[in-house]
Amino acid sequence: MYRRASLVLLAFAVFFAALSPLLRWYAFPRLAKVPPSQYQEMVLEAKPAVLLDYGSLRSKEVEKLTIVQTLKGNVEESERIERDAGRDVVVWDSLSHVQGPDGKMVSQIPERYIFDAHSQTPVHATGESVDGDPVRREGIEYKWPFLTEKRDYEYFDAQTRTSAPIHYQGTRTFRGLDVYYFEQTIPWTKVPFPKKMPIPGIDASTLEKQTGTSRWYTTKRMFWVEPATGAPVNGEEIHKEELRGGTLLGGRDRVTAFSGHVKMRPDYVDSTVDLVTSQRRLVLLLTSYLPWGFLVLGGGLLTLALVLEARARRPDPRQTAPHPEPAPVPT
């Protein structure tokens, strides 16, 4: 009986020991992916901010500037691209809507971001764009890969349409979560005017050609990233824009178009932390809790199987005890 039980336990021990690395290195990379239908809205604020009054073309300090950023998964487009790419693809149609303290639009910049659902690496396909202009992204944008590493990444900047390193700056604690902190600084760079601007009758695509005035931009970008999910739980930018030269400024060399420290609104930080915390548990279940649990369980079953096998090999004392000698028969 001991030997039969030992063989059964040994079979289960081998099964769980083999399942542990399979779950971590085979199943997880295939199961963990960004859903194609994801929708997310984020509100960021700069309080206070310096903003250009396009009526007088003078900079003034305002109480608040608001950026409403939406990400919407385009399922139809992702399925179309998947047929050619041969892999799981996510298409995000995003919109950054900037509005002043009076609620009026300052600018709008749409984007289409196409990436691999598992690794978050860009997938180059027709429609990849920023503000209607075709782009070819390198590196990540919005989200880091699952199981983010302590290293620098290439991060795409939508204003300059280029990628640059975003640097890992260490591990920190944010709202009870251990996160990786990243920073990226974009130096002053000449960038296109947004196609949608609050200047009646002005065609942004020809504004620079007609006036000789150019738009320049710099920013310091900061992210607090939860490493298991690769999702930022907080983001900030110290953002500056200037208009330089040309006839539009009336002889002035430059004027500030926008300057402010942009931060996520506290209620959106709270909801993001709650969402990422729940997703983190699922990722850790597949990468840590279950693989290590199965490995420990397999080791325990193996130990128990060896104990039972040892008992099965132990001689039965009833079979090895000497038989008593028969009593002599009297004569």
Q: Which long-range contacts (CB under 8 A, 24 or more apart) does 249-255 make?
A: 249/57, 249/213, 250/57, 254/216, 255/52, 255/57, 255/58, 255/59
E strands in 23-101: 39-53, 58-62, 65-73, 89-99
| Surface-to-core class of residue 176, CB atoms within 10 Å of its CB (0-12 exposed, 13-18 middle, 19+ buried) | exposed
Query: Using an 8 Å Cβ cutoff, are 252 and 55 in contact?
Result: no
Query: Using an 8 Å Cβ cutoff, are 73 and 37 in contact?
Result: yes
Cα separation, 26 vs 5, in Å, equals 31
Can you tell me whether residue 222 is helix, strand or coil? strand
The answer to whether the predicted template modeling score (pTM) of the entire model surpasses 0.85 is yes
| Surface-to-core class of residue 91, CB atoms within 10 Å of its CB (0-12 exposed, 13-18 middle, 19+ buried) | buried
Taking only the tens of pLDDT, the chain with its 331 residues reads 666 777 777 788 888 888 888 988 889 988 999 999 999 999 999 999 999 988 788 999 999 999 999 999 999 999 999 998 889 999 999 999 999 998 889 989 999 999 999 999 999 999 999 999 999 999 999 999 999 999 999 999 999 999 999 999 999 999 999 999 999 999 999 999 998 887 766 777 778 888 899 999 999 999 999 999 999 999 999 999 999 998 888 888 999 999 999 999 999 999 999 999 999 999 999 999 898 998 898 888 888 878 877 777 766 555 555 555 665 666 5
280's enclosing H/E stretch is helix 266-284
Q: Which long-range contacts (CB under 8 A, 24 or more apart) does 278-281 make?
A: 279/229, 279/231, 280/177, 280/226, 280/228, 280/229
Tokens of 314: 């132990």
Cα separation, 242 vs 120, in Å, equals 33
Angle of helix 2-22 versus helix 290-313 axis, rounded to 10: 160
Closest of 182, 158, 289, 295 to residue 230, by C-alpha: 182
Name 148's Cβ contacts closer than 8 Å, sequence gap at least 6: 180, 225, 227, 228, 230
| Surface-to-core class of residue 278, CB atoms within 10 Å of its CB (0-12 exposed, 13-18 middle, 19+ buried) | exposed
Question: What's the Rg (C-alpha) of the chain?
Answer: 31
Using CA atoms, how far residue 160 sits from 91, 155, 310, in Å, is 21, 12, 71
Q: Residue 320's CB: how many other CB atoms inside 10 A?
A: 7
